[in-house]
């Protein structure tokens, strides 16, 4: 079902059909949410990448419980996913990092994501220094940059319907199978 809905979103969404809200558990059990981009998905889960020392990276290191939310406004649909995030392998992170645009790879080195920045000029200067450092050759993946795969425990597929009589389908993992049930709107 996700494959079909995602394919439709890729055709109809004007921008970033792979954008998803990632909710993590912060200090003291407080929720923390932000937008990230889905970079891959398969039967094992949903993959995104980040600075491992960022706020989300630190929260994920402390507690892998997460929720994802895709909202495709043009289709009047959303998919909620709850599960557990675990790091992808170094080989998988290296392979994806190598596909990123050059400036994005330099930015991964230059940014102390989520930490205070004294001014944009500092970031620009860091990128310029890294451009000179890596003028020739590959830009390796920074040790503080990697990915996570979210293994889903449940999905909720929501479709807008007239008169707020929305269609909701909940899929819950039951061992190696999935149990489906309808929910009231």
Give the model's pLDDT for residue 140.
96
Catalytic residue among 105, 164, 168, 179: 164
Beta pairing partners, 79 = 70, 157
Q: Is residue 95 part of a domain?
A: yes
Give the model's pLDDT for residue 131.
93
- Mean pLDDT, consecutive 10-residue stretches, the chain (185 aa), reads 96 95 95 98 96 97 97 97 98 98 96 93 95 92 97 98 96 95 97
Q: Is residue 126 part of a domain?
A: no
Distance CA 107, CA 101 (A): 10
CATH code: domain of residue 87: 2.30.110.10
What is the DSSP code string of 114-171?
TS--S-HHHHHHHHHHHHHHTSSS--PPPTTEEEEEEEEEEEEEEE--GGG--EEEEE
Domain range for residue 50? 2-100+143-183
In this structure, what are the phi and psi dihedrals at residue 118, rounded to the nearest 5 degrees? -75, -15
- Among residues 55, 10, 65, which one has the least CA distance to residue 34? 55
Q: Is residue 16 part of a domain?
A: yes
Q: Is 105 known to be catalytic?
A: no
Give the model's pLDDT for residue 99.
97
Please state whether the predicted TM-score (pTM) of the whole model is above 0.85: yes
Distance CA 30, CA 142 (A): 29
Distance CA 81, CA 152 (A): 6
Number of independent structural domains in the chain: 1
Q: Is residue 113 part of a domain?
A: no
């Amino acid at each position: 079902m996700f494959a079909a809905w995602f394919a439709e979103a890729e055709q109809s969404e004007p921008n970033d059909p792979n954008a998803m809200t990632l909710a993590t558990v912060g200090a003291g059990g407080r929720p923390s949410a932000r937008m990230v981009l889905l970079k891959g998905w398969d039967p094992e889960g949903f993959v995104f990448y980040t600075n491992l020392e960022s706020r989300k990276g630190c929260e994920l290191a402390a507690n892998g419980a997460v929720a994802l939310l895709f909202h495709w406004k043009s289709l009047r649909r959303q998919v909620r996913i709850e599960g557990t995030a675990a790091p992808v392998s170094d080989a998988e992170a290296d392979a994806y990092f190598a596909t990123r645009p050059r400036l994005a790879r330099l930015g991964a080195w230059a940014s102390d994501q989520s930490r205070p920045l004294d001014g944009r000029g500092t970031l620009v200067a860091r990128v310029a220094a890294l451009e000179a450092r890596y003028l020739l050759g590959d830009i390796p993946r920074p040790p503080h940059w990697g990915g996570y795969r979210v293994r889903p425990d449940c999905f909720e597929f929501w479709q807008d319907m007239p008169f707020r009589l929305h269609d909701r389908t909940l899929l819950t993992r039951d061992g190696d199978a999935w149990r489906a049930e309808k929910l009231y709107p």
